[in-house]
Protein backbone atom coordinates (compact mmCIF):
# COMPACT_ATOMS: atom_id res chain seq x y z
CA UNK A 1 0.00 0.00 0.00
CA UNK A 2 1.29 3.46 -0.89
CA UNK A 3 1.90 5.61 2.18
CA UNK A 4 -0.28 8.35 0.71
CA UNK A 5 -3.28 5.97 0.66
CA UNK A 6 -3.10 5.15 4.38
CA UNK A 7 -5.82 6.80 6.44
CA UNK A 8 -5.92 4.39 9.38
CA UNK A 9 -3.56 1.96 11.10
CA UNK A 10 -4.66 -0.98 13.24
CA UNK A 11 -2.23 -2.69 15.65
CA UNK A 12 -2.61 -6.28 16.85
CA UNK A 13 -0.59 -6.19 20.06
CA UNK A 14 -0.65 -2.40 20.41
CA UNK A 15 0.42 -2.48 24.06
CA UNK A 16 3.91 -3.79 23.32
CA UNK A 17 6.67 -1.31 24.01
CA UNK A 18 7.84 -1.21 20.39
CA UNK A 19 4.37 -1.34 18.87
CA UNK A 20 3.14 1.55 20.99
CA UNK A 21 5.99 3.75 19.73
CA UNK A 22 4.90 3.26 16.12
CA UNK A 23 1.27 3.83 17.12
CA UNK A 24 2.32 7.19 18.57
CA UNK A 25 4.09 8.03 15.32
CA UNK A 26 0.92 7.49 13.30
CA UNK A 27 -1.18 9.37 15.87
CA UNK A 28 1.17 12.31 15.40
CA UNK A 29 0.64 12.02 11.65
CA UNK A 30 -3.09 12.60 12.26
CA UNK A 31 -4.19 9.10 11.19
CA UNK A 32 -6.89 7.01 12.87
CA UNK A 33 -5.17 4.48 15.14
CA UNK A 34 -6.90 1.41 16.58
CA UNK A 35 -5.64 -1.71 18.24
CA UNK A 36 -6.08 -4.88 20.25
CA UNK A 37 -4.12 -6.07 23.25
CA UNK A 38 -4.67 -8.86 25.73
CA UNK A 39 -4.80 -6.72 28.88
CA UNK A 40 -4.93 -3.03 29.81
CA UNK A 41 -1.63 -1.45 30.87
CA UNK A 42 -0.35 2.02 31.63
CA UNK A 43 0.85 2.16 28.03
CA UNK A 44 -2.54 1.31 26.51
CA UNK A 45 -4.27 3.77 28.83
CA UNK A 46 -1.92 6.52 27.73
CA UNK A 47 -2.45 5.64 24.06
CA UNK A 48 -6.20 5.93 24.57
CA UNK A 49 -5.68 9.35 26.15
CA UNK A 50 -3.66 10.32 23.08
CA UNK A 51 -6.50 9.31 20.74
CA UNK A 52 -6.09 5.59 19.99
CA UNK A 53 -9.12 3.24 19.96
CA UNK A 54 -8.14 0.11 21.93
CA UNK A 55 -10.00 -2.99 23.12
CA UNK A 56 -8.98 -6.14 24.97
CA UNK A 57 -10.88 -9.06 23.45
CA UNK A 58 -10.65 -10.80 20.08
CA UNK A 59 -13.77 -9.28 18.57
CA UNK A 60 -14.11 -8.03 15.00
CA UNK A 61 -17.13 -5.98 16.09
CA UNK A 62 -14.94 -3.81 18.32
CA UNK A 63 -12.58 -2.74 15.50
CA UNK A 64 -13.10 0.96 14.55
CA UNK A 65 -15.01 1.43 11.28
CA UNK A 66 -12.10 3.40 9.78
CA UNK A 67 -9.90 0.32 10.24
CA UNK A 68 -12.17 -2.01 8.23
CA UNK A 69 -11.30 -0.72 4.74
CA UNK A 70 -8.49 -2.79 3.16
CA UNK A 71 -7.77 0.01 0.69
CA UNK A 72 -6.94 2.61 3.34
CA UNK A 73 -6.03 0.74 6.55
CA UNK A 74 -2.59 -0.70 7.25
CA UNK A 75 -2.43 -3.61 9.72
CA UNK A 76 0.65 -3.84 11.94
CA UNK A 77 1.15 -6.96 14.07
CA UNK A 78 3.74 -8.39 16.39
CA UNK A 79 5.23 -11.89 15.87
CA UNK A 80 4.19 -12.69 19.45
CA UNK A 81 0.51 -12.79 18.35
CA UNK A 82 -0.66 -16.41 17.75
CA UNK A 83 -1.35 -17.29 14.11
CA UNK A 84 -4.91 -18.34 14.99
CA UNK A 85 -5.79 -14.95 16.52
CA UNK A 86 -9.32 -14.13 15.30
CA UNK A 87 -8.61 -10.56 14.23
CA UNK A 88 -5.36 -11.48 12.50
CA UNK A 89 -7.19 -14.20 10.58
CA UNK A 90 -9.95 -11.74 9.61
CA UNK A 91 -7.48 -9.26 8.12
CA UNK A 92 -5.64 -12.03 6.25
CA UNK A 93 -8.87 -13.33 4.73
CA UNK A 94 -10.04 -9.91 3.60
CA UNK A 95 -7.08 -8.64 1.63
CA UNK A 96 -5.55 -6.15 4.06
CA UNK A 97 -1.91 -5.06 3.86
CA UNK A 98 -0.33 -6.74 6.91
CA UNK A 99 3.13 -5.72 8.07
CA UNK A 100 5.23 -6.68 11.04
CA UNK A 101 6.39 -3.84 13.26
CA UNK A 102 9.91 -4.29 11.91
CA UNK A 103 8.75 -3.80 8.32
CA UNK A 104 7.31 -0.41 9.21
CA UNK A 105 10.56 0.60 10.89
CA UNK A 106 12.47 -0.68 7.87
CA UNK A 107 10.53 1.69 5.64
CA UNK A 108 11.58 4.59 7.87
CA UNK A 109 15.27 3.63 7.50
CA UNK A 110 14.89 4.02 3.74
CA UNK A 111 13.63 7.60 4.05
CA UNK A 112 15.69 8.75 7.06
CA UNK A 113 19.25 7.99 8.20
CA UNK A 114 18.84 5.04 10.53
CA UNK A 115 21.03 4.94 13.65
CA UNK A 116 20.35 1.42 14.87
CA UNK A 117 21.46 -0.49 17.97
CA UNK A 118 21.51 -4.29 17.80
CA UNK A 119 22.75 -6.95 20.20
CA UNK A 120 21.63 -9.51 22.74
CA UNK A 121 21.68 -6.93 25.51
CA UNK A 122 22.32 -3.22 26.00
CA UNK A 123 20.08 -2.23 23.07
CA UNK A 124 17.50 -0.23 24.97
CA UNK A 125 19.86 1.79 27.14
CA UNK A 126 22.33 2.46 24.32
CA UNK A 127 19.66 3.53 21.82
CA UNK A 128 17.93 5.66 24.47
CA UNK A 129 21.23 7.35 25.31
CA UNK A 130 21.92 8.03 21.62
CA UNK A 131 18.41 9.43 21.15
CA UNK A 132 18.82 11.73 24.15
CA UNK A 133 22.26 12.92 23.01
CA UNK A 134 20.90 13.85 19.59
CA UNK A 135 17.49 15.19 20.66
CA UNK A 136 19.05 17.71 23.05
CA UNK A 137 21.68 18.67 20.45
CA UNK A 138 21.34 20.85 17.34
CA UNK A 139 21.09 17.63 15.29
CA UNK A 140 17.85 16.30 16.86
CA UNK A 141 16.34 12.93 15.85
CA UNK A 142 13.29 10.74 15.63
CA UNK A 143 13.46 7.63 17.82
CA UNK A 144 11.67 4.30 18.31
CA UNK A 145 12.89 2.74 21.54
CA UNK A 146 12.31 -0.44 23.52
CA UNK A 147 11.79 1.31 26.85
CA UNK A 148 10.28 4.39 28.43
CA UNK A 149 12.98 7.05 28.76
CA UNK A 150 12.87 8.96 32.02
CA UNK A 151 13.93 12.17 30.31
CA UNK A 152 10.84 12.20 28.09
CA UNK A 153 8.40 9.77 29.70
CA UNK A 154 7.95 7.99 26.38
CA UNK A 155 9.48 5.42 24.04
CA UNK A 156 9.09 7.67 21.01
CA UNK A 157 10.63 10.97 19.89
CA UNK A 158 9.35 12.94 16.90
CA UNK A 159 11.31 15.60 15.01
CA UNK A 160 10.00 17.45 12.00
CA UNK A 161 13.46 18.74 11.06
CA UNK A 162 15.94 15.90 11.68
CA UNK A 163 17.13 13.48 9.00
CA UNK A 164 18.02 10.86 11.63
CA UNK A 165 15.96 8.10 13.24
CA UNK A 166 17.29 6.07 16.20
CA UNK A 167 15.94 2.51 16.23
CA UNK A 168 16.39 -0.40 18.60
CA UNK A 169 17.18 -3.26 16.22
CA UNK A 170 15.53 -6.40 17.60
CA UNK A 171 16.88 -9.80 16.56
CA UNK A 172 13.77 -11.67 17.76
CA UNK A 173 12.11 -13.36 14.77
CA UNK A 174 14.91 -11.83 12.62
CA UNK A 175 13.02 -8.52 12.79
CA UNK A 176 16.18 -6.44 12.28
CA UNK A 177 16.60 -7.86 8.78
CA UNK A 178 13.94 -5.38 7.61
CA UNK A 179 16.18 -2.43 8.55
CA UNK A 180 18.63 -0.59 6.31
CA UNK A 181 20.90 1.22 8.79
CA UNK A 182 23.05 4.21 7.95
CA UNK A 183 25.05 3.46 11.09
CA UNK A 184 24.65 0.61 13.57
CA UNK A 185 26.11 -0.55 16.85
CA UNK A 186 26.28 -4.26 17.71
CA UNK A 187 26.69 -4.55 21.47
CA UNK A 188 26.83 -8.32 21.92
CA UNK A 189 25.99 -11.63 20.26
CA UNK A 190 25.48 -13.99 23.20
CA UNK A 191 23.09 -16.68 22.01
CA UNK A 192 19.41 -16.06 22.75
CA UNK A 193 15.97 -16.80 21.23
CA UNK A 194 17.03 -20.35 20.43
CA UNK A 195 13.32 -21.19 20.14
CA UNK A 196 13.50 -19.11 16.94
CA UNK A 197 17.05 -19.79 15.72
CA UNK A 198 17.59 -23.38 16.80
CA UNK A 199 21.30 -23.04 17.58
CA UNK A 200 24.03 -20.49 18.25
CA UNK A 201 25.48 -20.74 14.73
CA UNK A 202 22.18 -19.65 13.16
CA UNK A 203 21.95 -16.83 15.71
CA UNK A 204 25.40 -15.53 14.77
CA UNK A 205 24.63 -15.86 11.06
CA UNK A 206 21.58 -13.68 11.60
CA UNK A 207 23.80 -10.88 12.91
CA UNK A 208 26.26 -11.41 10.07
CA UNK A 209 23.42 -10.96 7.57
CA UNK A 210 22.30 -7.84 9.43
CA UNK A 211 25.72 -6.23 8.83
CA UNK A 212 25.24 -6.74 5.07
CA UNK A 213 22.19 -4.45 5.22
CA UNK A 214 24.17 -1.34 6.21
CA UNK A 215 23.88 1.26 3.48
CA UNK A 216 26.97 2.00 1.32
CA UNK A 217 28.87 4.85 2.90
CA UNK A 218 27.52 3.86 6.31
CA UNK A 219 29.13 2.73 9.55
CA UNK A 220 29.40 -0.39 11.71
CA UNK A 221 30.45 0.05 15.35
CA UNK A 222 31.27 -3.42 16.64
CA UNK A 223 32.01 -4.44 20.22
CA UNK A 224 35.47 -5.97 20.44
CA UNK A 225 35.78 -9.72 20.81
CA UNK A 226 32.48 -10.77 19.21
CA UNK A 227 32.53 -14.20 17.56
CA UNK A 228 30.42 -12.94 14.66
CA UNK A 229 32.38 -11.87 11.57
CA UNK A 230 30.70 -8.96 9.73
CA UNK A 231 29.69 -9.10 6.08
CA UNK A 232 29.58 -5.42 5.19
CA UNK A 233 29.29 -3.96 1.70
CA UNK A 234 32.06 -1.99 0.05
CA UNK A 235 32.18 1.57 1.35
CA UNK A 236 31.03 0.74 4.89
CA UNK A 237 33.48 1.89 7.58
CA UNK A 238 33.91 -0.48 10.55
CA UNK A 239 34.95 0.74 14.00
CA UNK A 240 35.40 -1.21 17.24
CA UNK A 241 34.56 -0.23 20.80
CA UNK A 242 34.60 -1.46 24.40
CA UNK A 243 35.29 -0.04 27.82
CA UNK A 244 39.05 -0.55 27.72
CA UNK A 245 40.08 -0.87 24.06
CA UNK A 246 38.96 -0.45 20.48
CA UNK A 247 38.65 2.63 18.27
CA UNK A 248 36.18 4.06 20.81
CA UNK A 249 36.96 3.43 24.49
CA UNK A 250 37.27 4.99 27.95
CA UNK A 251 40.33 6.15 29.82
CA UNK A 252 40.85 7.64 33.31
CA UNK A 253 37.73 5.91 34.67
CA UNK A 254 36.90 7.09 38.19
CA UNK A 255 34.19 5.41 40.30
CA UNK A 256 33.24 6.74 43.73
CA UNK A 257 30.90 8.92 45.76
CA UNK A 258 27.98 7.82 43.60
CA UNK A 259 29.64 9.12 40.42
CA UNK A 260 31.38 7.64 37.39
CA UNK A 261 33.56 9.86 35.22
CA UNK A 262 35.90 9.05 32.34
CA UNK A 263 37.51 10.41 29.18
CA UNK A 264 35.97 9.30 25.87
CA UNK A 265 38.66 8.29 23.38
CA UNK A 266 37.46 8.50 19.78
CA UNK A 267 38.93 8.62 16.26
CA UNK A 268 36.44 11.44 15.65
CA UNK A 269 37.76 13.52 18.56
CA UNK A 270 38.35 12.79 22.26
CA UNK A 271 36.01 14.23 24.92
CA UNK A 272 37.36 14.64 28.44
CA UNK A 273 35.32 14.66 31.63
CA UNK A 274 32.29 12.54 30.72
CA UNK A 275 29.98 12.20 33.75
CA UNK A 276 27.43 9.37 33.61
CA UNK A 277 23.92 10.53 34.49
CA UNK A 278 23.10 6.95 35.54
CA UNK A 279 26.31 5.92 37.34
CA UNK A 280 26.50 2.16 36.92
CA UNK A 281 29.53 0.50 35.40
CA UNK A 282 27.70 -1.21 32.54
CA UNK A 283 26.69 2.25 31.28
CA UNK A 284 30.33 3.10 30.53
CA UNK A 285 30.21 0.80 27.50
CA UNK A 286 26.65 1.75 26.62
CA UNK A 287 27.68 5.38 26.73
CA UNK A 288 30.74 4.84 24.54
CA UNK A 289 28.59 3.27 21.81
CA UNK A 290 25.93 6.00 22.09
CA UNK A 291 28.52 8.77 21.90
CA UNK A 292 30.07 7.17 18.82
CA UNK A 293 26.68 7.30 17.04
CA UNK A 294 26.14 10.89 18.18
CA UNK A 295 29.55 11.94 16.88
CA UNK A 296 28.89 10.32 13.50
CA UNK A 297 25.60 12.25 13.28
CA UNK A 298 27.34 15.55 14.04
CA UNK A 299 26.68 16.32 17.73
CA UNK A 300 29.32 18.62 19.22
CA UNK A 301 31.72 17.86 22.07
CA UNK A 302 29.84 20.07 24.56
CA UNK A 303 26.44 18.73 23.46
CA UNK A 304 27.65 15.18 24.05
CA UNK A 305 29.17 16.04 27.44
CA UNK A 306 25.97 17.75 28.60
CA UNK A 307 23.77 15.00 27.17
CA UNK A 308 25.61 12.21 28.97
CA UNK A 309 25.39 14.03 32.31
CA UNK A 310 21.68 14.77 31.91
CA UNK A 311 20.61 11.28 30.78
CA UNK A 312 18.18 10.01 33.42
CA UNK A 313 17.90 6.40 32.32
CA UNK A 314 15.15 4.05 31.16
CA UNK A 315 12.31 2.52 33.14
CA UNK A 316 13.25 -0.99 34.37
CA UNK A 317 16.90 -0.58 33.32
CA UNK A 318 18.84 -0.11 36.55
CA UNK A 319 15.82 1.77 37.81
CA UNK A 320 16.33 3.08 41.36
CA UNK A 321 13.17 3.12 43.50
CA UNK A 322 14.73 3.56 46.95
CA UNK A 323 18.16 5.11 47.49
CA UNK A 324 19.02 6.07 51.06
CA UNK A 325 22.18 5.55 53.14
CA UNK A 326 20.45 2.60 54.85
CA UNK A 327 18.54 0.96 52.00
CA UNK A 328 18.68 0.67 48.20
CA UNK A 329 16.12 -0.94 45.90
CA UNK A 330 16.39 -1.08 42.13
CA UNK A 331 14.72 -3.09 39.37
CA UNK A 332 16.40 -4.27 36.19
CA UNK A 333 14.93 -5.79 33.02
CA UNK A 334 17.85 -8.24 32.78
CA UNK A 335 16.54 -11.60 31.53
CA UNK A 336 19.55 -13.18 29.77
CA UNK A 337 22.37 -14.80 31.78
CA UNK A 338 25.00 -12.32 30.59
CA UNK A 339 22.70 -9.36 31.32
CA UNK A 340 22.16 -10.70 34.83
CA UNK A 341 25.89 -11.19 35.31
CA UNK A 342 26.62 -7.60 34.28
CA UNK A 343 23.78 -6.25 36.41
CA UNK A 344 24.99 -8.08 39.51
CA UNK A 345 28.61 -7.08 38.98
CA UNK A 346 27.56 -3.44 38.59
CA UNK A 347 25.49 -3.54 41.80
CA UNK A 348 28.27 -5.23 43.76
CA UNK A 349 30.84 -2.71 42.58
CA UNK A 350 28.56 0.22 43.32
CA UNK A 351 27.72 -1.10 46.81
CA UNK A 352 30.87 -2.96 47.79
CA UNK A 353 30.65 -4.51 51.23
CA UNK A 354 26.84 -4.24 51.46
CA UNK A 355 24.41 -7.19 51.73
CA UNK A 356 22.92 -7.55 48.24
CA UNK A 357 19.83 -9.68 47.58
CA UNK A 358 18.27 -10.50 44.20
CA UNK A 359 14.75 -11.68 43.39
CA UNK A 360 14.73 -13.18 39.90
CA UNK A 361 11.78 -14.08 37.68
CA UNK A 362 12.88 -16.25 34.71
CA UNK A 363 11.36 -15.20 31.37
CA UNK A 364 10.18 -17.95 28.96
CA UNK A 365 10.24 -21.71 29.41
CA UNK A 366 12.47 -22.12 26.35
CA UNK A 367 15.07 -19.64 27.59
CA UNK A 368 15.12 -21.35 30.99
CA UNK A 369 15.54 -24.74 29.29
CA UNK A 370 18.42 -23.49 27.14
CA UNK A 371 20.32 -21.48 29.77
CA UNK A 372 19.41 -22.67 33.28
CA UNK A 373 23.05 -23.49 34.09
CA UNK A 374 24.21 -20.08 32.88
CA UNK A 375 21.47 -18.36 34.91
CA UNK A 376 22.62 -20.25 38.00
CA UNK A 377 26.28 -19.31 37.41
CA UNK A 378 25.40 -15.61 37.12
CA UNK A 379 23.11 -15.58 40.17
CA UNK A 380 25.75 -17.45 42.18
CA UNK A 381 27.83 -14.26 42.17
CA UNK A 382 25.50 -13.19 45.00
CA UNK A 383 25.07 -14.63 48.49
CA UNK A 384 21.26 -14.34 48.64
CA UNK A 385 18.85 -15.15 45.80
CA UNK A 386 15.11 -15.79 45.57
CA UNK A 387 13.76 -17.32 42.35
CA UNK A 388 10.07 -17.08 41.46
CA UNK A 389 8.03 -19.05 38.92
CA UNK A 390 8.79 -18.70 35.21
CA UNK A 391 6.95 -15.91 33.39
CA UNK A 392 5.55 -17.64 30.27
CA UNK A 393 4.98 -14.59 28.02
CA UNK A 394 4.07 -16.06 24.61
CA UNK A 395 4.81 -19.70 25.50
CA UNK A 396 2.97 -22.73 26.81
CA UNK A 397 4.65 -24.75 29.61
CA UNK A 398 7.37 -27.23 28.65
CA UNK A 399 7.27 -30.49 30.69
CA UNK A 400 10.01 -30.59 33.31
CA UNK A 401 11.07 -26.97 32.85
CA UNK A 402 10.62 -24.97 36.07
CA UNK A 403 12.57 -22.47 38.16
CA UNK A 404 13.89 -25.40 40.20
CA UNK A 405 16.34 -26.17 37.37
CA UNK A 406 18.08 -22.88 38.14
CA UNK A 407 17.73 -23.29 41.90
CA UNK A 408 19.34 -26.76 41.86
CA UNK A 409 22.41 -25.39 40.07
CA UNK A 410 23.03 -22.41 42.35
CA UNK A 411 26.16 -22.32 44.50
CA UNK A 412 25.54 -24.86 47.32
CA UNK A 413 26.69 -22.57 50.15
CA UNK A 414 24.57 -19.56 49.23
CA UNK A 415 21.28 -18.43 50.75
CA UNK A 416 18.56 -19.39 48.27
CA UNK A 417 14.84 -20.05 48.01
CA UNK A 418 12.02 -20.58 45.50
CA UNK A 419 8.67 -18.88 45.88
CA UNK A 420 5.54 -17.85 44.01
CA UNK A 421 5.51 -14.20 42.94
CA UNK A 422 2.63 -13.50 45.34
CA UNK A 423 5.06 -14.17 48.21
CA UNK A 424 7.47 -11.39 47.15
CA UNK A 425 6.07 -8.74 49.55
CA UNK A 426 6.48 -11.06 52.56
CA UNK A 427 10.08 -11.81 51.55
CA UNK A 428 10.82 -8.09 51.29
CA UNK A 429 9.31 -7.46 54.76
CA UNK A 430 12.05 -9.63 56.29
CA UNK A 431 14.52 -6.93 55.18
CA UNK A 432 17.61 -9.11 55.62
CA UNK A 433 19.56 -7.10 53.04
CA UNK A 434 20.99 -3.63 52.44
CA UNK A 435 20.52 -3.63 48.66
CA UNK A 436 17.65 -5.33 46.81
CA UNK A 437 17.49 -5.84 43.06
CA UNK A 438 14.54 -7.41 41.26
CA UNK A 439 15.49 -8.99 37.94
CA UNK A 440 13.41 -10.08 34.96
CA UNK A 441 11.41 -9.02 31.90
CA UNK A 442 8.05 -10.36 33.09
CA UNK A 443 5.47 -8.99 35.51
CA UNK A 444 7.81 -8.86 38.51
CA UNK A 445 7.85 -5.11 37.85
CA UNK A 446 4.21 -5.02 38.99
CA UNK A 447 5.52 -5.44 42.54
CA UNK A 448 7.94 -2.48 42.38
CA UNK A 449 5.50 0.01 43.89
CA UNK A 450 4.55 -2.29 46.78
CA UNK A 451 8.21 -3.17 47.44
CA UNK A 452 9.06 0.53 47.49
CA UNK A 453 6.26 1.24 49.96
CA UNK A 454 7.34 -1.60 52.28
CA UNK A 455 10.97 -0.45 52.32
CA UNK A 456 10.08 3.21 52.83
CA UNK A 457 7.86 2.26 55.77
CA UNK A 458 10.75 0.35 57.33
CA UNK A 459 13.25 3.16 56.77
Residue 78 has pLDDT above 90, yes or no: no
pLDDT band of residue 1 (cuts 50, 70, 90) is low
297 lies in the same domain as 157: yes
| Lowest pLDDT segment from 56-70, 99-113, 289-303, 377-391 | 99-113
| Pair 101, 36: CB distance under 8 Å | no
The string of DSSP letters for 293-317 reads HHHHHT--HHHHHHHHHH---BTTB
Domain boundary among 276, 310, 344: 310
Confidence of residue 274 (pLDDT cuts 50, 70, 90): very high
Q: Round to whole Å and give the CA distance between 341 and 372.
A: 13
**Domain assignment of residue 93, given as a range:** 3-99
263 and 365 belong to one structural domain? no
Beta strands at 249-256 and 259-265: parallel, antiparallel or unpaired: antiparallel
- Which run of H or E residues covers position 339? helix 337-350
The verdict on 51 and 182 lying in the same domain is no
Number of domains forming the structure of the chain: 3
Asked if 138 and 164 touch (Cβ cutoff 8 Å), the reply is no
Instruction: Specify whether 180 is located in the same domain as 155.
Output: yes
Phi, psi of 287 (to 5 degrees): -65, -40
Same domain (yes/no): 249, 331: no
Of 281, 310, 339, the domain-final residue: 310
Domain contains 213: yes
The pLDDT of residue 272: 98
Give domain status of residue 104, yes or no.
no
**Do 339 and 413 have their domain in common?**
yes
Give the pLDDT of residue 183.
98
Domain end, chosen from 54, 74, 99, is at 99
Kindly indicate the confidence band of residue 394, based on its pLDDT and cuts at 50, 70 and 90.
confident
Does 106 fall in a domain? Answer: no
- 332 and 262, same domain (yes or no): no
Q: CATH number of the domain that 131 lies in?
A: 3.40.1190.10
| CA-only gyration radius of the chain, Å | 22
Alpha carbon of residue 131 to chain centroid = 13
From 4-18, 190-204, 287-301, 334-348, the region with the lowest mean pLDDT? 190-204
Within a domain: 105: no
What pLDDT does 434 receive?
Answer: 92
Q: Which pLDDT value is given to residue 408?
A: 96
Residue 165 domain flag: yes
pLDDT in tens, 22-75: 998 899 889 999 999 999 998 899 999 999 999 999 999 999 999 999 999 999
For residue 459, give the nearest of 451, 383, 425 by alpha carbon. Answer: 451
CATH number for position 347: 3.90.190.20
pLDDT of residue 312: 93
Domain-embedded: residue 370: yes
In this structure, the answer to whether residues 161 and 29 fall within a common structural domain is no
Is there a single domain that holds both residue 142 and residue 290? yes
Examine the domain organization and report whether 297 and 334 are in the same domain. no
Establish if 42 belongs to a structural domain.
yes
CATH number for the domain including 88?
Answer: 3.40.50.720
Cα 361 to chain centroid distance, Å, stands at: 17
pLDDT at 247: 98
pTM check: above 0.85: no
Domain co-membership, 306 together with 323: no
Asked if residue 356 belongs to a domain, the reply is: yes
Same structural domain for residues 252 and 150? yes
- Say if CB 127 and CB 348 are below 8 A apart: no
379 three-class SS: helix
State yes or no: pLDDT of 88 exceeds 70: yes
Amino acid sequence: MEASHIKAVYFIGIGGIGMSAIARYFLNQGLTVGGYDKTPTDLTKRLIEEGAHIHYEENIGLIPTECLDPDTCLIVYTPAIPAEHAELQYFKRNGFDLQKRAQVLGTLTRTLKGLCVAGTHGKTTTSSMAAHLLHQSHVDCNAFLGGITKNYGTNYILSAKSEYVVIEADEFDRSFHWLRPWATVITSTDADHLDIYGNEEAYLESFRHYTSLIQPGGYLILHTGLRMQPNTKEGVTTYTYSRDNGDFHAENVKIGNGEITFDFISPLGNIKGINLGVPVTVNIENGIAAMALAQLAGATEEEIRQGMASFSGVDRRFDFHVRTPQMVYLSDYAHHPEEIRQSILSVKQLYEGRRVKAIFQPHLYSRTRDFYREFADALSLLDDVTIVDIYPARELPIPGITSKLIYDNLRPDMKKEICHKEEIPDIVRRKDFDVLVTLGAGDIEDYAQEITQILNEKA
